[in-house]
Amino acid sequence: MKTLVGALRHFVEHWWVLALRGAAAVLFGVAALLNPGLTLGFLVALFGAYLLIDGIIDIVGAFRLRGKIDRWWALLLEGVVDILIAVVAFVWPGMTAVALVYFIGFWALLIGVLEIWFGIRHRKEMDNEWILILGGVLAVLFGAAMFAAPGAGALSLVWLVGTFAVVFGLATIFLSFRLKGLKGRVGEAVADLTKKA
């Protein structure tokens, strides 16, 4: 329990990192939606830039959580996958639309499963964990949709990816501000555990 409270305290103290991650997703989504005529190569580069930022944030967060929670490696895994897919996007920017769909679909499925798992695992330590779980479910549904219709046109792909990024980013920002609001309560829980120890 002490480990879980310590991890939650870390997330609460660094709520702004989650907000930054959500803002990056919203900016990526808005850029895609405002420019539906984007070339596929530019969309790939934009997606790669988003994943690179997100991956770095995840990896830094994972190493800060090392020793505070048992499964810090899940966040590390998410960050490494983000960066690997970003590298693929930068090295092969001319990939076909279908390959991009599969890359984005795989990323969304993996991230969605990790977020659902984290939300369920920590549901007793945080309020509104359903937002994290909902974000994970949306990511899984989005990933499944990408695999179900890989032949969608480039314009449809831009709209789909942009809409998902905005919704996912807004949910992440909302969650970050909910974590910010927990500051006093987590401090009280840590003080209670310290007294009992």
Q: pLDDT (tens digit, 9 = 90+) per residue, 45-89?
A: 777 888 898 899 889 888 887 877 777 788 888 889 889 888 887
Residue 32 belongs to a domain: yes
- Give me the pLDDT at residue 1, please: 46
| H helical segments located in the chain | 2-13, 15-34, 40-65, 72-91, 97-121, 129-148, 154-180, 183-196
Per residue in 131-174, pLDDT (tens digit) is: 778 888 888 988 888 788 766 655 677 777 788 888 888 888 88
Residue 113 lies in a domain: yes
Q: Is residue 186 part of a domain?
A: yes
* DSSP tag of 66: B
Residue 66 included in any domain: no
User: What single letter denotes the amino acid at residue 4?
Assistant: L
pLDDT digits (tens, 9 = 90+) for 89-123: 788 766 655 677 777 788 888 888 888 887 787 66
Alpha-carbon span 32 to 113, nearest angstrom: 25
CA distance 83 to 60: 13
For residue 66, list its beta bridge partners: 69
pLDDT interval class at 25 (50, 70, 90): confident
Instruction: Give the angle 59-98-110 at the CA atoms, nearest 5°.
Output: 30
Q: Is residue 172 in some structural domain?
A: yes
How far, in Å, CA of 45 to CA of 53, rounded?
A: 12
128 inside domain: yes
Domain extent at residue 131? 2-41+93-196
Domain total of the chain: 1
For residue 188, the one-letter residue type is E
Residue owning tokens 């989504």? 29
Higher pLDDT, residue 125 or 71: 71
Residue 47 within a domain: no
CA–CA gap between residue 130 and residue 151 (Å, rounded): 32
CB 62 within 8 A of CB 76: yes
pLDDT at 193: 47
Is residue 88 included in any domain, yes or no?
no
